Amino acid sequence: MLEDKKTKIYIVLIITASVLMTSLSFYFYQAFFSPNTLLEKEEPYLLHIASNSTFKMVSDSLYEKEIIHDVITFSFAAKVMGYQDDVKPGQYTITPRMSNMNLVKLLGSGKQTPVRLTFNNVRTKEDLAEKITKNLEMTQADFLALLKDSLNIRKFGFEEETIMAMFIPNTYEVWWNTSPENLFDRMYKEYGVFWTEERKQQASAIGLSPNQVSTLASIVQAETQKSDERPKVAGVYLNRLRINMALQADPTLVFAAGDFEIKRVLNVHKEIDSPYNTYKYTGLPPGPINLPEISALDAVLKPESHEYLYFCAKEDFSGYHSFATNLNDHLNNARRYQSALNQAKIY
C-alpha cells in the first residue's frame, strides 16, 4: 500500500511538473514570440524616447499610446534581455505585430530611424532655430542660444553677423536626440562639404570670400525667386562692386528696418542708419540678410557676364526683371513698374 501511495504521489508530481513546465513554456513563448505591437493597426508608429527616460516611462508610454497590448509580458522580456537597465533615447519605427523580443532588440540596439532635416525660406536666426529644431528633441531656445553665443560662433571661424552663412539649406539626416552642439558640428561639416576647392576658386575669381559670396547670394535670392534669373542679377551686383558703386539693394533696407512686411521701399527707408543700408554705404553689408539657397550661392559663383548696372521688376508682375546699362533706361523701366503698382493699388 505504501509503495502504491508513493507511486501515486510521484505520478502526481510528474504531472504537476509537466503542467507547470508546459505553462511556463507557453508563457515564455507568449512573452517573447507572440505579436504584441499595434495589433489593431496597419501603419508603423514613430516612437520618441526622450533623453534620461526610465524603463517605466518607456513602458507606460508604449501602453498608453496603445503601441503594445500586454505591458506585463513586455516588461518580463525587457527584464530578461537586460533592457530595463539600459534604455536608449531616440526615434524608433515600431511596426505592427512585432514580438516583445524583436521590440526589445530594436529599442536596446539604439538603431534609430533618422530624421530628415530640411530648412529653407529662413530670414533670421530665430527663423533658423525654429525650423531646424522643429522635428528634433532639442528646444528652439537651446539652439538659438548656441546660435547667438559669440564664443561658440568664433570657434567655427565666424562672427555674429556671418554665422548664418555656415548653414547650407538642404535636406540632411540626423538623429532625433542629437544635441545642439552636435548639430552645430554637423552643419559645419556640411559647410565644408559644400565649399569644395572648385567653389573656393570660383569665389576667388570674382574677388569674394565664401562668407561674402553668402552675403551677396542672400541679396540675390531676396531680389528674385526665379532661379534662372539669379546669375544675371548676381552679375549686376558684381559689376557695381567692381566700380565701387552702391549696391542700392532694397532687400537690405527691409532687413535693416526689421520689418519683413514692407512691400514697397520708400525714401524714408533709405535714411536708416545701418551697415545693412546699401543705399547709404558702399560694398557688401556685414553678413547675409537671409539663408541663401544653393541655387543663389551658385548664381554668385557662376554669374552671367554682361554690362548691366540696373534692374527693375517687370510691370507684368511675372517676377522677372528688366535690365539696363544706363540710368536713363533704368528710370524708364522703373516708371513703368511704378505705374503698374499704382494701377494695382499696391502701396
218-248 per-position pLDDT tens digit? 999 999 999 999 999 999 999 999 999 999 9
User: Cα(76)–Cα(291) distance, rounded to whole angstroms?
Assistant: 51
What integer pLDDT is reported at residue 11 of this predicted model?
52
State whether residue 35 is helix, strand or coil: strand
Per the listing, cell 547675409 goes with 288
Cell digits of residue 215: 552675403
What integer pLDDT is reported at residue 21 of this predicted model?
52
Cα torsion angle, 235, 236, 240, 241, sign: negative
What integer pLDDT is reported at residue 343 of this predicted model?
85
Q: Hey, what's the torsion of the CAs at 92, 95, 100, 106, to 10 degrees?
A: -30
pLDDT beneath 50, residues of the chain: 12-13, 17-19, 22-23
Per the listing, cell 560662433 goes with 153
Look up the pTM and report it.
0.86
Q: Terminus-to-terminus CA distance in the chain, angstroms?
A: 113
Cell digits of residue 137: 528633441
Segment (H or E) for 173: strand 171-174
What integer pLDDT is reported at residue 219 of this predicted model?
98
Q: What percent of the chain is modeled with pLDDT above 70? A: 91
